[in-house]
Amino acid sequence: MTTTPVFVRVVDLETTGSRPPAHAVCEIGWQDVVLGDDGVWRVGGQDGAHFVNPGRPIPPVTQAVHHIIDADVADAPRWPDIAPTVLRSDAVALAAHRATFEQRYCTAPLTGNAGWICTWKCALRLWPGSPSFSNQVLRYWRNPAGLDRNRGLPVHRAFPDAYVTAHHLRDMLQTTSVATLLEWSALPGLLPRVPAGPLRGTAWTALDTDALTRFTTDRDEDVRYSAQTEQRRRDGAADPVDEPDQPSLF
C-alpha cells in the first residue's frame, strides 16, 4: 500500500515590485521538505522554477536585483495559470522566508487556503542569537548540513532562495512541530532585540520599564508585540505561544 508523503512546500517569488496589483510575479521557485518513514525531515521531493509573464515591464531597479529581464518572461505563462500548479498540492503547509511577502501574491484562491509557515518568524524564536535573520545571513551563520553552495546561487532568484530556505525549515522541523511553526507564523515576529534606534541591539529583558512601555505602542507590529510579550513576562502573565510543543506532528 502506497502512502501519501508528508511534506511542506517552500516557495519563493521574484516580482516586478512589492505592492500588488501595481506589481506582479515574474518567477516562482519551490523546494519540498519531506518527512521520511524514519521520522526525519529531509530536503527532497519536488523542486523547480518557472518564469511568469507579469503583464507589464520589469523596472530597471528591479532587474538589477534579480537580473530577470522582459525578454526572459515574454513567452512565459501568466500568474493565474501557473500559480495553482505549484501552490495547490498535497503539502501540509506552504513556507517562505518572510512569508507575508509571498502571501500578497499567493492568495487563498490560488493556494486552496493553505496554511503558511514563515521561516523568518520561526528563526526569531528558534535561533535568537543570529546576528541577523535574513535568509542569506542565516545560511552562512548556521551552515546547514547538506546545502549545496552552487544550487543555492545566485541569490535573489526563485529556486536558489527556496532551496536555501528549505534547509532552514528542515532543521526547524527536526525540533518543532508543523503546528507550532504555523502558530508562530500567524503571530507578529517575536524580535529578540530592539531592531532600530538608539537602543538598537538591546535585549528586551535589559530595558528599563519606561523604555519598554514606549515600545509597547510602537507603530511596527513586530516591535510592539515583542515589547508587549516582555511586559507580560514581567507581569507574570502566561504567554500561550510559549507553551511546550505537543508531542504530535501536527
Alpha helices in 59-189, H assignment, sequence order: 60-66, 70-73, 79-87, 99-105, 108-111, 119-126, 135-142, 158-173, 178-185
Which residues of the chain are in CATH 3.30.420.10 domains? 6-185
Q: What's the pLDDT score for residue 238? A: 59
Q: What's the pLDDT score for residue 242? A: 46
Whether residue 5 contacts residue 33, with contact meaning beta carbons closer than 8 Å, is answered with no
Alpha helices in the chain, H assignment, sequence order: 60-66, 70-73, 79-87, 99-105, 108-111, 119-126, 135-142, 158-173, 178-185, 209-215, 221-235
Q: What's the pLDDT score for residue 245? A: 41
Q: What's the pLDDT score for residue 80? A: 97
Q: What's the pLDDT score for residue 237? A: 77
Intervals of the chain under pLDDT 70: 1-2, 238-250
CATH 3.40.50.2300 fits 6-185, yes or no: no
Which residue matches cell numbers 551563520? Answer: 141
Q: What's the pLDDT score for residue 155? A: 97
**pTM metric for this prediction:** 0.93
Work out the number of other CB atoms within 10 angstroms of the CB of residue 23.
18
